[in-house]
Structure 1
Amino acid sequence: MNGQFFIQLLNPGIGLLFATAFLLLWLNRRERYVAYAAAAYTASAIAFLILDVGPVLPMELQRLPANMGFLATGMLFAAAIIKRYDRPVPWRAMSVTAAISIAAFLWFLLGHPSIAARILTISIGAGIIAAMVVVALWPIEKRHLIDRVLFWVALFSALNLIVRPVVLLSLGGGFDDYIGFQQSVYWTTVQFTQAMVSIVAAISLMVAVALDQIAELRREADGDDLSGLLNRRGFEAQADAALRRAQSEARPVALLVADLDRFKSINDTHGHAVGDAIIAAFGAHVRRIGPAHMIAGRIGGEEFALLVPGASIEAARQIAEAVRTGLQAACADRIPANLCPTTSIGLAIGAPGATLSALMQEADQALYEAKRTGRNRVRTFTPKPVRLAAGA
């Protein structure tokens, strides 16, 4: 065995290592995109083993499954990245691209043999598949560094696969046989760049998996399972951050505090299952009608808080009225027909420098006023007029 043999084992070894790592991640986190990544690195390892270590078949036919493996690697890894963002995977477009590449490869293998042409057909096909990832990720808001890293990995991979063979083959010419090909600068470049791209891509996706896991744990810790909204801790953390951002941008902030009317009586009369159904319906109703940037949480048994950054008092009242008037319809298919749940809502607008605690107190006062004046209504907090001292 010489040094070249161990170099040939580099990419299969990397592929098997990362395939195992992603498989273990998938066993712990049953996300489809993680399974795609494990399959992609398995296909890569098998393809390199067939190409570099496997036996030579008549008419060099071992090249066919190897290059099919490389295209499968590109398709599966593209699917892994795209699926992470819940975007539709372009399986048909990728399959057509791979089929055309394989058809051209067979022609340049059996019909009109040309090593250089075969390199171009497979490499450009794989590059087009990588470019589909770039197209899929382009319109997505890249909130975190890892989102930008994955985008740039896909872009570099596409450019590397399409531009590299064209440049190197134009500079170095073609190859007379596979011995010359495997000893060429081009193949050395392929071995090195493929190893680097594989490592960077795998590490980037693993970091993404870890961040997704952390985000899921945070959602579980900060979420309320029954309503589907945030729990009190989650609401206060997110609302406080949103309030501070809005104040730094000199934007208004509205806080709505809603309380389900006579909820204890509902539980006592109809049972806790009906009460739970109303809470679940309220949460679904709020998520459906509220603006995307609204922060909503269940902060008590039957009490909810909604923070709406950028909302004026008029816009906040419209949201509050939509929540109030739409509750009965939202509950209709979940509770007895003779039950008509209602909610009272207190509304407050954040003054410059107001804390979340102060805003909650103001909204609570408005809620108390809504309850005191008959329930099933919206009241807005109004500061008490300042009384001047006599003689002032």
Structure 2
Amino acid sequence: MFLSRYERMIARRYLLPGKGEAFILIVAAFSLGAVTLGVFALVVTMSVMNGFRAELFDKIVGLNGHAVVQAYGGQMRDWRDIVKLSEATKGVTSATPLIEQPLMTTYNGRVEGVLLRGMRVADICTNKTIGSKVVMGSLASLTPGSGRIAIGSGLADSLGAVVGSQISLISPQGQTTPFGTVPRIVQYTVGAIFTIGVSDYDKIYVIMPMEDAQTLLMLGDSVGMVELQTTDPDRVGQILAPLSDKIGNRGVVQDWRMMNAQLFEALSVERVVMFCLLSLIILVAAFNIASSLIMLVRAKTRDIAILRTMGASRNGLLRIFMTVGTTIGSLGIVLGLLLAGIALTFRQGVVDLIQRISGQNIWDPQVRFLTELPAKTNPVEVVAIVLIALLLTFLATLYPAFKAASTDPVQVLRYD
């Protein structure tokens, strides 16, 4: 929008009304604040929700893979063939045999339900989700036959266990006697404590070498599943389609979308709903801009009539008032983006401060899944928010601008 020199001067004066028009300035300031608040709320909320989804996805997929080949009956005896077939499939980057079994554990009179995971020692040490999150001990101590295991930090807190503690795992699959099956109770030493960052995982996971898990569960040389990693998790169904045909009736392929469908679908719906609801703040801000411009036009009716008699065109008046409105909206957008950037940078500090002031734990890991408030800003979404705010601001200026441009100087100045 190109303005002449006099149009820029008038627009600048209308942005800062005189002493007798302080009320118009206050309304314009509220409009500026509303746009700022709307952009700030949208950017922060969408960034936090994107971060929550990305962090949760990384934790879940990092531990459970993009997909698993689940054995029928819970035991996969030909797992080596499945691993070879999987690694030969285009798009599959790794295939890891696993054993997972719900068990009970006890220590110092405390009993907790756990999920035992048996993995090859090399896979334990190279797993980024586990290996980079060891808070006590060392994964290198987990060797077959050593009797050492790694447990989640939440489970360690629940049991009161530390590295070196002797905890017992209770397996219902034990020896059969005339009085029934006697559960197996085997004692292990805690060799490492890790924290994944997902509360539900940290308080149930027990990691041990695959050979020890096979012995504990009396599986022989069998495993329960083969975990798969692919080059593109969003195309995991297409990538693994050939593998499903090769495996046939030996197992079933389940990808991360099947295993966590309800969770990620709920997050997607929530993102859309939050975006729509928070966009209403910007819509309200646009109405405020429209109302402030209407008041400005009413206050400046005589000035507009004089400008028309001096040769100002209708298009010139249109440009002036549209510039005033869009300037307010643009300043609000810039301020909103700056505030959002600051809030996202210091988000965890803000959460901690609110918790100290209120005395409430507003970010409980057991409720929120993650231990810290995540954030991931999507540039495409930020651009969309800016464009929506600019569009609504522009539309809000149309009626006041046309009203100003249609002012009849004869009618206004007739009795002056």
TM-score (normalised: structure 1)? 0.30
Task: Decide which structure has the larger Cα Rg and report it.
Answer: 2
TM-score (normalised: structure 2)? 0.28
Higher relative CO (Cα under 8 Å, sequence separation at least 6) belongs to 2
